[in-house]
Amino acid sequence: MAVRKEAELERMLRLCAELGLPEVTESTSYGAPSLKVRTKNFASVRGPQEMVLHCPLEQKDLLMEMAPDIYWQTDHFKSWPGLLVRLDVIGDEELKLRLEDAWRFRAPKRLADSYAASKGMPISDEA
């Protein structure tokens, strides 16, 4: 299973690099490979071809409704800003969008705003 986890993590790292996400580091979360922005986890390998992404609850519900073949949750993840993702179903372009969203959700405001400005994206209006 470790070989699969390495493959999942490598895919996540490659897509983060393609996006140019700053300050992404490899780490672990509950013993599983994960990605952090500074000290905050934003994506973790959950198992073979599965990952957990951090996202706002309202986005989580929308994504599960939109693409239940890709996104789902277990009872453990209900009311928690984490979304399960089937990596064998999601394409790289969609996964890049989700990784970018998760990174922006967890990154410190100044870092997220700086990244958004560099990409011509809207700046967060949250404090």
DSSP 29-75: ETTEEEEEETTEEEEEEEETTEEEEE--HHHHHHHHHH-TTTEE--G
Tell me the average pLDDT across 47-75: 95
pLDDT of residue 120: 86
Domains and CATH numbers, the chain: 2-119 (3.90.1150.30)
Task: Quick: pLDDT tens for 70-116.
Answer: 999 999 999 999 999 999 999 999 999 999 999 999 999 999 999 99
The answer, yes or no, to whether residue 126 has pLDDT greater than 70, is no
pTM: 0.91
Instruction: Name the nearest CA neighbour of 102 among 81, 122, 116.
Output: 81
What tokens appear for 46 in the block?
């959950």
Task: Quick: pLDDT tens for 27-50.
Answer: 999 899 999 999 999 999 998 999
Task: Place 6 in a pLDDT band, splitting at 50, 70 and 90.
Answer: confident
